[in-house]
Every structure is written in structure tokens, then in C-alpha cells.
A and B are shown apart, each in its own frame.
Chain A
Amino acid sequence: MAEGREHDKSFWESVKPLGSGRTLKGMGSIETGDEGLWHQSLLGQGDAFGTLYDRHRDRVFRHAYRLCGNHHDAEDIMAASFLELWRRRKHVRVVEGSILPWLLVTTTNVARNRARAAARYQRLLNSLPRNQETGDPAADPSRRYQNQLDQDLAQALATLTPEDLHLVSLIVFEEHTITAAAAVLGLTPAAAKSRIHRARQRLRAALDRDASQHPPTAPTPVLEGERP
């Protein structure tokens, strides 16, 4: 399963820092925190937003993939999330110096309302070029198996209420603090704490239900972080 491990390593690797060759050039002061970059973006500096994109793209994509279990859809959701981040820029809340929690909440919303988001950006998304699919994923047994697990998780997540899903996404999957999740969702930390507890239980129940329909032969990789 060497290939599988490689696969998971990239799946779980931490977000890369600034993309090479895409630092802000020619500016008096270089701000590298999300807050500074976001502020510069609002002033019309495209490079700053580009850097935010470079920084958070992979996490947003992984989250989108987790929610839909399909590579192509995940790319569309990721793209629509960044477009929505910008479109609704006046409402954005930077939490603990990071824009990621807001972005992940946006991603969750886009994924849940995929039809609406897709309609808004359909023409643009279709116009963006893509590499041709290399090989049929269904032909590779390990990948086919992975696909099934990914879709099982996506289905289990789809049973959660939006609020539960936001909390699980931020706290369980993306390891934000309860305080940060509460801030971005407009909850008190105490409320977030009690709700995340119940949300975890509901997710576990949904996964168990799922597992009884598709008996797993291995732990779900997205929850365990490792493949057999």
C-alpha cells in the first residue's frame, strides 16, 4: 500500500506557506498575516488575495472533498468558496488573525447549497481549464475502495444540521479551538462547547449507521488519518 501512504501523506500534510514566486513585491511593508493580507485585498491588491488563496486552497479543497466525496465537485466547491469569500467580503469575520474559519464555514455552506452556488458561478467554472482525467479511478481497486469510504463520510456529514456540520468541520476536522469556532459562528463558547459534544455523537451515530450498510474493512481514513 505504498501508494496509499503517499496519498494520505499529501492528504494530511499541513498547509504550505506562501507559494513560491508569489510574494508581494514592490510594497513598502510586506504583511504576511491573514489579517493584513485581507485588508490589502479589500484595498484592491490582487496579489494579497492571491496569497490568501495559495495559503488556504488545499485546506478548503480537502474540506470540500470531505463534504462531497467527489474530486471534480470538490474543485468546483473550492472555487465557489473563494469567489463567495470575495463577493460577500463586507461580512467576513477574521477570527484569531485567520480567515480560514470563515472560509471553511463558507465552504460548508457552498457545499450544502451546491445547486445555488453552482448556478451563480456555472459559466465561470465551466470556462476554467482542467487537465484531462488521467485514467479511470474505478479501474484502480484501492482508489475505488477509497472513493467508497469518502462518499460514506460525505453522506454521514450530509445528515448533520448546518450548525452541527460547521462545528464538526471547524473543531474536529480542522482543529480550530472551540472559542474560534464560536466566534466565527456567532455563538458563545459555552454554547459551542455543549453543541459540539452532541454534534460529535450524532456524527458517530451517522457513521455507524453508514457502516452497517457498507461494512468497512478498515477504519475510515478521514477520521483516523492513516490508511491500512
Chain B
Amino acid sequence: MNQLHVDNLFSDALRAELVKRVEKITPARAKKRTWLWTGTAVFAGVGVLGGVGAAAAGLFSTPGSTQLTPLASPVTETHTGTATVQLGPAPEDATGIELQLNCLTPGRFEFEDGANTICDHDDIGTRQDWTGYSIPLKAGKESITITTSPGAIWKLTAQYVNTKITDWAVNADGETYGAENENGSPDMVAVIATNGTRGYAYRTDLEDANGTTASKTFKSPADALAWQEAIKGKDFVIPVYDSTGKTVVGEFVISPGTGTIGVPGEPAPECVGVPPTLGPGQTYPCPGLSPIETGIPAIPVPSN
């Protein structure tokens, strides 16, 4: 027996632990995959109007936008390990529960539908420790259970809300216009032009600029990243029309120059942690910001 060898049993267990630790930390840019607003509010595109943030702020009312109304005082509780937060009876017109989870220690935190977020040491006390999640209300649903790794501490703020998606409007040419929402995109998407004027950009123009069109040719995330690299530094200028779709009122610029996550530059605070590429079905969660603030939108990536 050679004394100066690492104990194999110890070494193998350590190796497994190290591999596990590495694998649970996905890179920063893909970390907050759980930045989801499933069911009730889905945002696509960037700089386009609509969505909870803008509507809740009372800035404007755009056809197709989501109107979110808080219905009860939020419940905030701090727990260690797996625990259930009681919300009390749901108000009559509640349609969903809005959740905000902060991890106070490193660990893995799982919502009831299996969506989860992982916090490591570096996230604690930063914006990265925050996860927003919104779930549709089910009858009799009065509690939220968060399942965690042992000893992990978390703070949950939960609130019954009413969300309502308004209908898109239709112009004289039969084109729909308004905010993107979970029903998809109208023919003309509400945007704020660089001159500050609110108007609409054609969806097809936006798709050409933001990679949606290109993404149809992508076969892998690598293709998406290569495309993103190729358009780096280029501006896309798109005309902005009034609701008739004929009169130009300004222009909309999608510029990858600032704030794109994955290339140098700080992202807008609202968009910290947003991955540059999204999984199938995921949408870009930086509502209500101009493209100047957010840079190029996340690119939808096809499965496989």
C-alpha cells in the first residue's frame, strides 16, 4: 500500500462532485433561462411596445398589449429549503400569480412546473439572484411550493394579478396592428421611433433585421452565433409608419452596438442575464425598451 497516493474512493467522489459543480453552472449568458413569463404574458422582439412593463407604467395603451392589474397585496416570505407559501384565497378576477424569487444563498430552486433557477456564490446580492415568473391561475390554487437543494435560502414575493390581452386593431387595408403578445405578432408591430414618435413597423421588416428571417436557415445554435457575429456592428434601419401603414413617421434602428449580451458592452439593467440565443418557444424578455437601450434582440434558435 503506497501511502503517497490519493485515496481512490475519495478521489472518485471528489471528481464526481467537481464535475457536478461545473455542469450546474451554465455560462452567465444562458443562466437565467427561467426568465419566463409563460402563460400570461409573452414578449417578443425588442423595443417593440406593449407588455406588462410599459402597460403597467401607464405609458400608453396599445392594441394587443397586456394589461396587468395587481389584485391583492403581495405576499413576501423567506424560507430555507423546500417550503410552501400560502397566498390566501384568490380574488375573483385573478387570472394568474406573479412570482419573484430571490435566492439568498447559492442553490437550485425549482418552481412547481419544473422550471428552475440556479444561483451560485457570485449571484448572491446582485441582480442575477432574481427570477421573475408568472403562472396562470388554476382553480383552488392558493399556494406556491418552491423545491430547493438542501439548506438553500430564498425569498418569494407572490401576488394575484389579472392579466388581459387586448385585441389588435385592424386598419383600412385589413392589416392588424398593435403589440406583440402570446398570440404572436400583428402585421404591424408597435414601436417607438428614434425621434420619439410612437408608430408601427412591419413585422417582415423587423424579422429581416432581428434574425427571425435568418434563423429559419439556422440548423444549430452555432449558426445563430455565427450570424450574430456577422451582423456585429451593423445597424438596421426600418421605417416606422402610422397605423395606416402608409405614412412614415420616423425610423426604428436595431443596432448591435450596445448592450448585446455576449459581445462587449453592458446590457440594459432589465436585460441582464438574458441569453443571446433562446430555446425553442422562448421569447425575448426585455419589454418596453428601445433598441438603442437593448441592442440586438435574442435570436430564436430552432430545436436541434
Please list the residues of chain A having a beta carbon within 8 angstroms of any beta carbon in chain B. Answer: 6-7, 10-11, 41-50, 53-54, 57-58, 61-62, 65, 71, 75, 78-79, 82-83, 86-87, 90, 124, 128-131, 134-135, 137, 143, 146
B19-59 CB contact bits vs A (8 Å, 1 = yes)?
A: 11111111100000000000000000000000000000000
Are A46 and B9 also in contact (CB < 8 A) when A90-B122, A137-B3 are? no
A58–B9 alpha-carbon span in the complex (Å): 15
Complex interface: stretch among B10-18, B210-218, B249-257 = B10-18
A87–B9 alpha-carbon span in the complex (Å): 23
Contacts of A135 in B (CB 8 A): 1
B19's contact among A7, A49, A129, A130, by CB below 8 Å, is which? Answer: A49
User: Which chain A residue shows the least CB distance to B25?
Assistant: A44
A129–B14 alpha-carbon span in the complex (Å): 9
User: Which chain A residue shows the least CB distance to B14?
Assistant: A79
Contacts of B2 in A (CB 8 A): 6-7, 10
Contacts of A62 in B (CB 8 A): 4
In the complex, which range does the number of interface residues on chain B fall in? Answer: 20 to 34
Smallest CB-CB A-B distances: 9 pairs: A46-B19, A46-B23, A49-B22, A128-B13, A46-B22, A44-B26, A130-B10, A134-B1, A50-B19
Are A11 and B14 also in contact (CB < 8 A) when A44-B23, A45-B23, A90-B122 are? no
**CB proximity of A97 to chain B, nearest CB, Å:** 20
B15's contact among A53, A131, A137, A143, by CB below 8 Å, is which? Answer: A53
A47–B21 alpha-carbon span in the complex (Å): 11
User: Which chain A residue shows the least CB distance to B13?
Assistant: A128
B3's contact among A47, A53, A87, A143, by CB below 8 Å, is which? Answer: A143
Contacts of A43 in B (CB 8 A): 26-27
User: Which chain A residue shows the least CB distance to B2?
Assistant: A10
A128–B1 alpha-carbon span in the complex (Å): 21
Would B11 and A57 count as touching, CB distance under 8 A? Answer: yes
